[in-house]
Amino acid sequence: METTSKMTMRRIATATALLWAALICGCGEAQMGADPATFKAVDALYTAVSLREPARVDHCLATLTSLHEAGKLERGPLDALGGIASEAKAGSWESAQSRLARFMRGQSRGR
C-alpha cells in the first residue's frame, strides 16, 4: 500500500501533466472559421482600428454580430473581437491594433 506522501506526489505529478496538456492543446486564439465574409469583416475591423475611427469600428462590430447570428461566427471569436474593439474605442488604439494583429495571425484558414 502506498504511503500518503507517495499518493500526494503522484497526484501532484498527474495534475501537473494535465495542466501542461491543457496549456499546450488549449493555447491559441479563438478560431473564427473559414467563412470569407467573416475574414473580410475582421480585415475591415483592423482597418477601422488602424485609422482610429470609432464609427467604422461600430459598423464592423455590427457586421460581425450579424455573421454570428447567421451561424458564421462563433461566440468566442466574437467576444474576443468585441473586447479588442472596446479597448480601441476606450483610447488604446495601438494596443488594440496589436491584439487584433495577433488574433489574425493566430487564425487557421481551414477550420
Q: Match 457586421 to its residue by C-alpha cell.
A: 63
The C-alpha cell at 39 is 475574414
Any residues with CB less than 8 A from the CB of 46 and at least 6 apart, and which? 97, 100, 101, 104
pLDDT at residue 102 greater than cutoff 60: yes
**Least confident among 2-11, 45-54, 69-78, 95-104:** 2-11
The C-alpha cell at 29 is 486564439
Q: What share of the chain is helix, strand, coil (3-state, %, to 5)?
A: 75, 0, 25
Question: What local confidence, expressed as pLDDT, does residue 21 receive?
Answer: 46
Question: What local confidence, expressed as pLDDT, does residue 8 receive?
Answer: 76
CB of 84 closer than 8 Å to CB of 49: yes
CB of 80 closer than 8 Å to CB of 49: no
pLDDT tens digit sequence for 6-57: 777 777 766 665 545 444 444 556 888 788 999 999 999 999 999 999 999 9
Cα 18 to its chain centre, rounded Å, is 23
* Angle (deg, nearest 10), helices 75-89 and 93-105: 160
- Mean of per-residue pLDDT scores for the chain: 85
Question: What local confidence, expressed as pLDDT, does residue 30 receive?
Answer: 80
